[in-house]
Amino acid sequence: DMGMWTNAQGAQELIRVAPLLVHRLVIMAVLKWTQRLLLAALCGEISGQGHGHVDQCPGNVNVIGRGSTTLIATKVNMPNFPAGPVDNMNGIVMPGMWGRAYFADQCTNGTYDNNQYASIPLLGKKFTYNTDVSQAGCGCNAALYLVSMRQNIEVSACDDYYCDANSVCGVRCDEIDIQEANKFAWHSAMHRFDDGNGLATGLGGWVRDNHFE
């Protein structure tokens, strides 16, 4: 269950549409891989921009049920705002503050290609992971969500074909927020491409203009 819906019609429409989309995973904060996907967050101060060298191709991780899966790190968090680095230490993937990484089939340094992003058909399947957000303080957002970047043919203002419901990089697409969390709060919600706030209350509270109420 992705959340508590207040708009039944909107929920039914999105539930109808969502299985038709072949989504791929976007990972922010810290990812750890063992027999399951472990998601943790190490957040510093939220002021200040991303810093440090970003390795666009930080390596592969083993996804049970899919096998070896490539990670692609973005170099631009949002227009005119650089992303933080993403480290992969023996399968433990650790994006720094403002870091963002994507599942992919392959990675080519120096270029971003939407056809390289992984399309993972989740219909009829179960996605299981453990999460540790004990180090994610107030103001941090350790997020795990689904968007259709492989199907997006617009390069976006972040130069990596990124899209989401809030048009962070200038391109909108449907979005399923599995996790937006820190050690104080958790929020899950579904968004149509034109519904940045989410018609649903979600699990964890109502969001208006990206502010929790």
Top-confidence residue, 203 or 96: 96
Is the pLDDT at 75 greater than 60? The verdict is yes
Top-confidence residue, 101 or 5: 101
Average pLDDT, integer, range 198-206: 58
Is the pLDDT at 100 greater than 90? The verdict is yes
Is the pLDDT at 14 greater than 90? The verdict is no
- Write down the pLDDT at residue 213: 52
- Write down the pLDDT at residue 8: 38
pLDDT above 70 coverage of the chain, percent: 68
Average pLDDT, integer, range 103-108: 96
- On whether the pTM is more than 0.75, the answer is no
- Write down the pLDDT at residue 89: 83
Among 159, 41, 178, 47, residue whose Cα is nearest residue 111: 159
- Residue 162's Cα: distance from chain center in Å? 10
Top-confidence residue, 36 or 62: 62
Q: Write the secondary structure of the chain as one string of H (helix), E (strand) and C (coil).
A: CCCCCCCHHHHHHHHHHHHHCCCEEEEECEEEECCCEEEEEECCCCCCCCCCCCCCCCEEEEECCCEEEEEEECCEEECCEECCCEEEECCEEEECCCCEEEEECCCCCCCCCHHHECCCCCCCCCCCEEEEEEECCCCCCEEEEEECCCCCCCCCCCCCCCCECCCCCCCECCEEEEEEECCCCEEEEEECCCCCCCCCCCECCCEECCEEC
Top-confidence residue, 94 or 65: 65
pLDDT (tens digit per residue) in 17-53: 333 333 334 444 333 232 223 333 344 433 345 556 8
CA 169 to CA 177: how far, in whole Å? 17
Strands 186-191 and 37-42: unpaired
Q: How high is the mean pLDDT of the chain?
A: 75
- Write down the pLDDT at residue 97: 84
- Write down the pLDDT at residue 137: 87
- Write down the pLDDT at residue 207: 58
Q: How far is CA 15 from CA 75, 98, 99, 132, 187, in A?
A: 32, 30, 30, 28, 18
CA 3 to CA 48: how far, in whole Å? 32
